[in-house]
Structure 1
């Protein structure tokens, strides 16, 4: 028995086709099917969808009036969150601004800041999201311009990890370079994000950012996310830099927290929803009846027998990679021949990740 989506792109309504049921003295031939792979096609920038399947616990059962056992069987309906994450709002241009001053040998000797940036890039969607690496110490250096050639971006991070941290902490030089990169190579269609990592304060103090630099970031549409590590930070300054541009400040007490911080920022720009506000409507064929009290999911469950038997479950949310399932039992009082478990009217309706019904 399978529920099948119509169309190729993710749809928010899924109709049923029938599985085989045998009702001679025996009832129900169990099957388990999933959606055709072609139905798993997603929009260009990703997105989740609902992929359901139905299976039975027994190959066959006796009609209830025969007096033989088994005279009922379990049915399992599974709703899987399928697809890939979708981009919220717009793809992103991200510049990773990496402090490379000498103190990092003390506060991040395992270069976990580099691992965190690798993880962030691995979560990006090519060719839409783009990235670039800027490192700063006495001055700032751009490795390559914004690009979705992630192999090159990863190579730039590896090169940075292999080089010795040294020198001072020139905030001003780093922000100047980032502004130039976005002005020259930033995409007008992408969100503009800068992740500013440091373990210290501007050194020398004259290398601090200026109001005019921050205004330029705002004018360029750049949100600055500041990430501070260790005990030598000026947290107020980093928080001010983030707030000024509509970004956010994150504090890592230890380098071990950096990966989770970077991924927390990354996940803000993606949607992992497969479906919301699901209504699962299972219309039993007339030869079958629901065994009262057999649904293992009771929240949001209703039985309507005004016109045949309609079983409905309401589910608030299914994420990509998550399975929701329900088990219930059916029997046939006087059935005979072959039929389907569910009628063609059976369906799953939901709101997809874009908010479409």
Structure 2
């Protein structure tokens, strides 16, 4: 496996909730994102996915651990020292309308990072904006209009064009299609897939929708209550998850898993300000034993290119690894 473009080591992000209680939204995450791959980060709402993505971009400050980008420790860099890296690290937001300035034209929105991060003249930036708008399927004429004149799917294309403007190497896409109709989701996913291939981007794709993630990701990172609890190649995860939480999630997606036993998780996601002792998933796990309440499992390799945070993984760690699965991305059809 190639060297990681982005590496998190024991990464932690804390804040205080409305009642003033400390919450560890990201609780000791170790994660490698390999250059050129698309890593799908999945989990329930409130598990810390978006906070982790923003922390990796240094959009929020970590409270502990380390973030390395291209081998460089960027954990404690101040805003002025981070500025040269901003063009290299971009984000596509969930709400395309909320992330676009309604008072500015599309051309001005996209040209801003070109002039700021790449030092282009106005004429150079205008030409590049036209090319970007064509690449995302909107056409050059769209540059003279404002965001409110576009549909949700078109606004997300504008957001993608803006993220691509400074020629980044690493992009975090935070639920980029969750607010769109299903048919529009397919168009945007196909657009992202083509751009990843053409530009050689490294993408962290954050979503709660396993069906969407299956079509775009090379590997899957499963998150629960601030922790990464499984990392696996895409096809290995969807055919045979190693963590009971992944097993339950897959069983709830009938389009993907028509023959699996339906597993209903008991209870709600625990209070992140007061997580369970030992394994954080144990209060909802049908396989939990006494050890799960007293000893926190570590994220450990279990073969087949995957790691799992579980005392009783669902795969036999002594079994030979199956033939490696292809990582070719597939087109999504509405």
Does TM, scored on the shorter chain, surpass 0.5? no
More strand by share: 1
TM-score scaled by structure 1?
Answer: 0.26
TM-score scaled by structure 2?
Answer: 0.28
Task: Tell which structure's C-alpha radius of gyration is larger.
Answer: 1
More helix by share: 2
